[in-house]
Amino acid sequence: MEPAAAQAMEPGELDAMLQAAAEFGAHGDDAVRQFLEQFPLPKLLGVLQSEADVPGMDETVATCLDKVFSSRYGASFLPSYGAFIQAGLLANSKNIKQLACKAVIHLLDKAGDSAVAVDTFVQYNLYPLLINCLTEGDEEISAVSLDGIKRLAEIPKGIDIIFPPSGQGSVQLDRVAAQSSSMARIRILSLIAKLFAVSTYTATAICNSNLLSLFQNEIKDRRDMLKTLSALEVLYELVEHPHSNIFLLKTNLLQLIIDVINDSSGDSIVRSRATLIGGRLLSSADAFMAIDKNCVTNLLLAIDKILKMEDSQNTDEIESALEALGLIGTTSVGACLLLTDSSNVTRHVVEASFDRQGRGKQLAALHALGSICGVDRQENQMKLDNQAEERLKHLVYTTARNSPKMTPSAFLLSVLQQDPDIRIAGYRVISGLVAREWCLMEVCSKSDIINLVTDPNMEMTKLGMDARHNCCMAISKALSSSHLLHEPSLSELIGKLNEAVKRGPYLSERKRVEPQPVVVPAERALSML
């Protein structure tokens, strides 16, 4: 169906339409059908194209049309109104431009045939116009256009508009970035990160188009701290995707990240974010097969340098460094590396876990130690090779001996006696460590530890209850395959654990405290007035 020409309205008809548009709330198919029978699309669009000087008219009609197009019935008209979408993307009015960007999303989501939607994009050259809205529009328009481009990449043949098989598309993102402002370049980086997450196919297309070099260019030039930080924030979003390591480690991005961490003249926030990105890049087992060992060593040395700084001046950096080590330690390959590398960075993790001088630092260290001990890994991957296991045991006992607590069991007990966040991190550490016989013996040697982890009243939040119960199950499971299971002196302890495991994480039998009436003598009541 060819779109009808925009139609003008009589003044009285315009007033009625604006009132109906302002009151239009329900936008199911039936409601939309009835509304369009009274006010056809050509007339509604004609109002937007008119030069009538009516306050709030554009906003009212645009909001109404967005509701119309968000229904399947309304969206079914969009392939026939590609010319109006095109005009809207070129409009000066923010309301109309934003409506056109949203109409693109409705076209892709609800118009029905995705092939027809792609044909509409091609016929009316909508993709370059969306890119212009992304780079030149205000924050709202930029965000909506970004969602529209991402949605285009998610449908069959849509990605071919963004990355044509010939490699000669009408819009080359690297060329657009080269001619754009700093803010527009960051928006293009955000688009690349969104597209990267769509699929390995789009990630491959991004790499083949050399678009990752845009991140390198922004990070390499560190004269503008805010610009560098913005690029790192977007890069952090990108590296959170599971397949990112495969592609990113083939570039020199990790070396650039190491340079940022080592730049003592740089801002602390920038170095903190770079440190987390470095940890994220090495958080998969595949990463260690794709990168030079010298680069890994250099990253650990850079992190070690941060952890030797003074807490009072570099708290955020230190916490980020500990979190990065936890990310690396989530895989058995990474954990083994941390425990056996000459940089000896795991020593900082264990020492900070025992140290109550800085709460944020201790909390980050405990979570990192839990990850290194294997709490995030599959059961058959929790324990490490002999060298790494011996190193872990040595670090824990040595650090305990050099602390006021003297023993690992006393340390673990002290952690469980702290605030809820520290306790949750402590549950994680115990859940990972008890897979080792020596730690299981330490835990069982302190009845107070078992009393706390089996106490159903200990935690008040779901996260805390789950962590406590997981800890109970980890101890019980470790005991089930240990010679300690048949130790007579532990029978009461084992009974408590079995009961706690069967009870589950949530306390359903908490005693209800009924409100008690308060009786106040008449004399006292008068004195209180």
CATH number of the domain that residue 57 is part of = 1.25.10.10
Query: Does residue 467 fall inside a structural domain?
Result: no
Instruction: Work out the burial of residue 355: count CB atoms within 10 Å of its CB; fewer than 13 is exposed, 13-18 middle, 19 or more buried.
Output: middle
Quick one: 108 and 32 in the same domain?
yes
Average pLDDT over residues 153-168: 83
| Residue 314 counted as domain residue | yes
Average pLDDT, the chain: 85
Residues 213 and 331 in one domain: no
Domain range spanning residue 245?
181-251
Asked if residue 135 and residue 223 are part of one domain, the reply reads: no
The model's confidence at residue 310, banded by pLDDT at 50, 70 and 90, is low
257 or 511, greater pLDDT: 257
pLDDT above 80 for 394: yes
Is the pLDDT at 230 greater than 60? The verdict is yes
Assign 106 a pLDDT band (cuts: 50, 70, 90): very high
Q: What is the pLDDT of residues 67-85, one digit of tens each?
A: 999 999 999 999 999 999 9
Same domain, 333 and 304: yes
Same domain, 263 and 225: no
Q: How far apart are CA 324 and CA 319, in angstroms?
A: 9
485 within a domain of the structure (yes/no) = no
Same domain, 142 and 197: no
Q: In angstroms, rounded to a whole number, what is the distance separating the alpha carbons of residues 394 and 434? A: 15
Same domain, 61 and 158: yes
Statement to judge: residues 265 and 372 lie in one domain: yes
Position 448, amino acid: D
Asked which of 126, 148, 171 is the last residue of a domain, the reply is: 171
* Residues 47 and 99 reside in one and the same domain: yes
Same-domain status, 266 and 394: yes
**Phi/psi zone of residue 53: left (φ > 0), alpha (ψ -120 to 50 degrees), beta?**
beta
Give the residue from 107, 137, 171 where a domain finishes. 171
Does some domain include residue 13? yes
Give the pLDDT score at 46: 85
Boundary of a domain, candidates 116, 143, 171: 171
Has residue 296 been placed in a domain?
yes
The average pLDDT across 455-471 equals 90
Number of other residues whose CB lies within 10 A of the CB of residue 30? 11
pLDDT at 501 over 80: yes
* Number of structural domains in the chain: 3
Asked if 245 contacts 259 with a C-beta cutoff of 8 angstroms, the reply is no
Q: Are residues 333 and 387 in the same domain?
A: yes
The answer to the question of residue 86 being in a domain is yes
pLDDT band at 88 (very low <50, low <70, confident <90, very high): very high
Q: Provide the token pair at 232.
A: 């790192």
212 and 137 fall within a common domain: no
In a domain, 492, yes or no: no
Calculate ∠ Cα 315-319-324, nearest 5°. 145
Asked whether residue 417 is assigned to any structural domain, the reply reads no
- pTM, two decimal places: 0.82
Look at residue 470 and tell me whether its pLDDT is greater than 80.
yes
89 near 130, Cβ under 8 Å? Answer: yes
214 contacts: CB under 8 Å, gap ≥ 6: 173, 174, 177, 185, 188, 189, 192
